Structure formats: C-alpha cells, structure tokens
C-alpha cells in the first residue's frame, strides 16, 4: 500500500480533528513506542482518543476508537516533556500549513505556582487514571496566578522523514521523537534548543490555482518517457502519485492520454480536474472511501472518491477518514503478518542450511577420526617393509609377513613404498590431533544454530525478529570493501516481578541472553535454561541475594525457561538451575553460548507469562 497520508488525506484529518477535539483538554498523553503518541482528549463532553506516529514504516495521525496502550516503562526526554507541557493543556488550534504533510497542534496549559496543602486540596492535581477528576477539572475555575505556557506539537508525516516535534512559544525545539543532527541532514536539523524550521517547500506550482497554460508548459517540458501522472507530481506541490493518477483518469478516462490527443485540451482538462479533486480542502466536503480486493482486504483508502481505484476494486463508504485509515492499517497489519511469517521462514531456512552443513562437517570429522584410529597400522607397515626389504622384488604388489598382507605400489621401489606409509602416518597423526578440537567447534556451532532457530521460531514480533536477523547477518561475511557492520546494543528486556519485588528476565536473542546473564544478573542471582535444547536464558534478580530463595518464583522462572525453548510442546521439561557465578561464556563462542556447573535440575510444565500472573507480573 502506498503512503496513504498525502496532503489531501491530512487536510481531511485536520478537518475531522477540528470538528471533534479543538478546544478539548488533553487528559492523558504518553508514548506507545518511542515514535508514537497516544492521547485522550475531553471535548464537548465526549472523550476522544488520538494516535500520532512518526514510525518510518507506518506514519499516521488519526482518531482511535479506544485509548492507545501506553508503555509506562518507556521513559524518554521527549515523553517527559509531552507530559509536562501537554497533559492538562487545551488544544487552541489545529492547522495544516498549505499543501504540506504537517499538522500543528497549538496547546496552552496553566502552570500554577507551588500551593499549600489546603490550596492543593481545593484544586487537586488531575491524575491520568482519575476520570471523575478530569471531568470536574475541565470546568474548574482557572488559577489567576498561574502562568500560561504555550507549545506547538508538530506532526510531520513524510515517510521515512516523519517526526513528532515539540516547540515552545519562542519557536525553539524542546525535543522530538527523532533527533536529526547536522551529520544526518545538511538541509534541516532537529535538535533540542535549536530553532524550529519547517520542512523546506519544493519549488513547484500551487495545484489549487492550476491553469491550462501552466499545465501545458509542464507537460511540454517533461522528460521523454515520463507519463502525465509523474509530470503532475513533479510540477505541483502536494500532489501524490495517487492523486495525480486520479486527476489524469478523470481528465482522460485512462491512466494516460491517447497519443493523438490535443495537448491544449488535455492541459485544460487536467487543470480543471486538479482544482476539483482538491476542492474539499476549501469546502470541507469530505466523503471518505475504502477500496477492497476480492478477498475483502482493504488495499487503499481516500478522503474522497477515487474513480481510478473504483474501476479495479470494490468501493465502500467509510464513517470518517480516521475509521477508513484504521481499517486500512488493519489490512496492512495483516499483510505485515504475512511478510513477517515469510521473513521468519527465510531465516529458519538459512539457519537450517547452515546446520546441515555443520552436521555434515561433524560427520566427516567422525569418519576421519575413525580412520585416524588405524594410524599405528600405517607406521607398522612402513617398518615391516624396511625389515623385509630384501624379500621384495621389483613390481611386487603385496608383501605377506606373519600372515599379514601389506599392499605395495608396483611403480615404487621398496624404500619408496615404506616412505609412502610413513608419510601417510605423519599426516594422519597430525590430522588426528586436530579432530577433537574441530569436532568440538562443530558441535558448538550446531548447538548455537539450534538455539538461534528456536529463538527465531518463537520471536513474538517484528522488532524481535529483526534483532535475530541482525544477529544472523553478523555471522555471514561482509562483502569485500564494505564498511564494517554496526552492532547495536541489545535491548534490555522488560522484567516480570513477584510479590517481593524479585525480577525475572528472559533473553530473546543471543546478545540479549548474554545481557541478562552477565550484565543484569549478579553472581548470587539464579540462572535457568532448558536442559539439552536451544532456548532463552532466564535469570532471577533477587532483591536480597543472601536471603532464602522463593521456590515458587524459581518454579515460575523454570516454566518460562521451558516455554522459551525448543521443548515448548513437551508435557514436562527438565530445566537446569544454577547460581549465576557458575555460568561462564564459551571462549570464542557465539552469542549466548555458555558452560555451567553446580546446577540442579527441576522438571516443570512449560508456561507463558499469562499463565503465571498469580506469581509474576510485568514490572517497569
């Protein structure tokens, strides 16, 4: 699906937001993820929910049917500033700079001076979870002594350049979801304490005032091979490929004008249809549509009917642009799910091929080791040839001594035959010395690939799968002359906690296994891993390491270790439990590969987090 948030769609969203949340009070606001905001806005006696995201793959801005799930453990400077300046504030204006994919929310909030206990009781600080207090506070009398702080929140929906930027009333950036340094962009930096500069507008014509002569010139100057739609995109501001194709279709009845068309007539028709397609920006007369394929999946949405899409897909009306966008996101998410499954399978196939190769190498080493066991026979044959050299005639093919037959090369002299056996003896002896080391390396590689395959198969989401893909990429040699790959630090996993505050961490990649085992866990903490199979490292970070350990917490952590292992489908799984001090990295081993001792083994039924809620709950 092409980027759906073009200038026309954003104009429709702004109209919808002005009709619903303008002058509303922001009751709650926070981060869904590092680049996505969720907010609850109380306006005209109704609660509305807003989502705004600068995600590179899915930038979006729309109303949501329910409050987006905020991540309380995600604390960033941008998120803290949002809470400080926006929560409890009023939305004074929602605007879109002409023809831009940018929305500005102007927010004002009173910042009261410190109050006494009695004053604070009279005007309580509104809690994000206290709905009654929010509604009462909405109509509460303002504090005349409070200073009013005004900020602007810019939502820039520009594909991979999307951003969320908080700016003070002097036009200075407070912070942003994505910081852009001068090294990243010579055109526009986005950093705290820097002045906010809007995205530079392209030097193109205004499509709302398109004239036939203007369009005719653009078409006459287009490079060879550029169709009408691409010429309109290049010549006019804010015209997306989808809108351009619609303009051409309305003007010509097809995606391209016939070769014998009169250029002046085509230019006049394009100018007329361009103004008509963009007319809702001024009139506010939006009529959102969904376009569905034969399977009923949404392939596109638009704030106004698109005739060129209706010829290929089923067209359906939508209640609002936000609901149309949400439906399209749902279909996109399902498509992402398919791509996610395909990505997972490609990784598993690549890991499986590498494992087969390592297994063949191990089998070859085993066969070579068996041959090396006969190394003394080679030495004995050489010695027997020397001892009986007087009895060997030229061209003889074998020597029989004491009932033993020694093959000879008839083209070699007796002395050369003996030397050939001694040479084979020396090579076999040298190779035999290396076989145990090489076999151990192959066994470790197979164990690591089994662990990686298990983690890939059980990766719950896109970010975990991509982290594992990056781990796999690190194992493959980089092309000659390419820059060294940058290895990002593994993300710290969210812990679970028992009633006493003891925390349980689960690693979901090789580097994350090392992180939880050797960085998060202390020497007196507890380490767990399913016995003899690939899987996650689990550690218990005890609040008081010297105190007696809670058996219920150990059993729950063991159930998690069994769940996040290759033995998940088994009825019961053996899990090794050891003090972390007895766990060691394998020297030169792959990420997450360890040895351990002084373990004890427990037998548990595998269980995910949701089945362990009576014992373990999410912790910040």
Please tell me the predicted confidence (pLDDT) of residue 231: 92
Residues 6+ apart with CB under 8 A from 153: 82, 86, 104, 105, 107, 164, 165, 166, 167
- Is the pLDDT score of 116 beyond 50? no
Q: pTM here? A: 0.55
Inter-residue contact 597 to 582 (CB < 8 Å)? yes
Which residue has 């912790």 as its token pair? 619
CA dihedral defined by 306, 312, 318, 323, rounded to 10 degrees?
Answer: -100
Angle, CA 123 vertex, CA 120 and CA 124 arms, to 5°: 70
Surface-to-core class of residue 208, CB atoms within 10 Å of its CB (0-12 exposed, 13-18 middle, 19+ buried) = middle
The overall longest dimension of the chain from CA atoms, in Å, is 122
Q: Give me the residue spans of the domains in the chain.
A: 7-141+153-159, 321-488, 496-618
* pLDDT at 186 (0 to 100): 83
Instruction: Convert the pLDDT of each residue in 260-290 to its tens digit.
Output: 678 899 999 999 999 999 999 999 999 999 9
The pLDDT assigned to 482 comes to 53
- As a CATH number, domain 7-141+153-159 is 2.30.310.10
* Residue 133 pLDDT > 90: no
pLDDT in tens, 164-198: 999 999 999 999 999 999 888 888 999 999 999 99
> pLDDT tens digit string along 438-450?
788 888 889 899 9
The whole-number pLDDT of residue 122 equals 36
CB atoms within 10 A of CB 310: 14
Q: Of 15-29, 114-128, 231-245, give the lowest mean pLDDT range.
A: 114-128
Residue among 261, 200, 206 nearest 228 (CA): 261
**pLDDT interval class at 484 (50, 70, 90):** low
Mean of pLDDT values over 557-568: 94
The pLDDT value given to residue 331: 57
Q: What is the pLDDT of residue 430?
A: 64
| pLDDT tens profile 344-386 | 888 888 899 989 998 888 888 787 766 666 677 878 888 888 8
The predicted model gives 11-18 an average pLDDT of: 96
Q: Average pLDDT of the chain?
A: 86
Give the closest residue to 198 by CA, choosing from 103, 67, 299, 287: 103
pLDDT digit string, tens, across residues 517-528: 999 999 999 999
């Amino acid at each position: 699906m092409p980027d759906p948030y073009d200038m026309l769609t954003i104009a429709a969203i702004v109209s919808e937001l002005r009709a619903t949340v303008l002058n509303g009070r922001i009751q709650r606001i926070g981060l869904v993820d590092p680049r996505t905001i969720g907010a609850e806005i109380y306006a005209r006696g109704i609660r509305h929910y807003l989502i705004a995201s600068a995600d590179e793959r899915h930038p979006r801005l729309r109303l949501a049917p329910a409050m987006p799930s905020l991540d309380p453990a995600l604390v960033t400077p941008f998120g803290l500033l949002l809470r400080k300046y926006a929560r409890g504030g009023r939305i004074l204006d929602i605007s879109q700079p002409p023809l831009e994919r940018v929305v500005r929310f102007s927010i004002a909030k009173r910042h009261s001076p410190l109050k006494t206990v009695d004053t604070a009781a009279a005007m309580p600080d509104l809690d994000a979870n206290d709905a009654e207090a929010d509604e009462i506070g909405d109509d509460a009398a303002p504090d005349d002594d409070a200073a009013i702080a005004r900020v602007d929140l810019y939502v820039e929906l520009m594909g991979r350049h999307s951003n969320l930027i908080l700016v003070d009333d002097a036009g200075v950036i407070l912070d942003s979801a994505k910081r852009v340094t001068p090294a990243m962009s010579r055109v526009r930096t986005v950093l705290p304490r820097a002045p906010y500069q809007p995205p530079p507008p392209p030097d193109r014509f205004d499509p709302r005032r398109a004239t036939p002569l203007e369009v005719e010139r653009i078409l006459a100057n287009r490079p060879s091979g550029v169709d009408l739609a691409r010429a309109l995109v290049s010549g006019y501001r804010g015209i997306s490929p989808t809108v351009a194709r619609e303009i051409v279709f309305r003007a010509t009845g097809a995606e391209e004008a016939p070769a014998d068309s009169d250029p002046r007539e085509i230019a006049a028709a394009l100018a007329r249809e361009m103004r008509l397609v963009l007319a809702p920006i001024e009139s506010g007369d939006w009529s959102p549509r969904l376009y569905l394929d034969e399977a009923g999946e949404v392939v596109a949405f638009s704030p106004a009917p698109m005739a060129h899409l209706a010829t290929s897909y089923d067209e359906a009306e939508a209640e609002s642009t936000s609901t149309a966008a949400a439906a399209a996101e749902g279909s996109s998410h399902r498509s992402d799910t398919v791509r996610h499954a395909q990505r997972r399978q490609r990784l598993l196939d690549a890991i499986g091929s590498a494992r087969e190769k390592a297994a063949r190498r191990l089998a070859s080493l085993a066969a070579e080791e068996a041959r090396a066991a006969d190394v003394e026979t080679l030495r004995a044959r050489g010695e027997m040839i020397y001892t009986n050299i007087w009895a060997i005639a030229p061209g003889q093919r074998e020597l029989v001594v004491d009932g033993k037959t020694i093959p000879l090369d008839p083209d070699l002299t007796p002395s050369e035959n003996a030397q050939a056996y001694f040479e084979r003896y020396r090579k076999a002896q040298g190779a035999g010395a290396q076989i145990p080391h090489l076999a151990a390396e192959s066994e470790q590689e197979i164990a690591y690939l089994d662990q990686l395959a298990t983690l890939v198969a059980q990766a719950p989401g896109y970010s975990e799968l991509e982290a594992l893909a990056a781990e796999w990429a690190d194992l493959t040699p980089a092309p000659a002359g390419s820059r060294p790959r940058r290895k990002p630090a593994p993300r710290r996993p969210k812990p679970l906690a028992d009633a006493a505050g003891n925390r349980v961490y689960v690693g979901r990649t090789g580097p994350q296994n090392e992180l939880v085992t050797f960085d998060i866990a202390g020497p007196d903490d507890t380490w767990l891993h399913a016995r003899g199979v690939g899987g996650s490292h689990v550690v218990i970070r005890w609040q008081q390491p010297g105190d007696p350990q809670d058996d219920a917490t150990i059993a729950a952590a063991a159930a998690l270790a069994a769940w996040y292992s290759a033995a998940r489908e088994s009825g019961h799984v053996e899990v090794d439990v050891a003090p972390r001090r007895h766990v060691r990295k394998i020297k030169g081993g792959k990420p997450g590969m360890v040895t351990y001792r002084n373990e004890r083994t427990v037998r548990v039924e595998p269980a995910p987090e949701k089945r362990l809620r009576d014992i373990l709950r999410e912790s910040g």
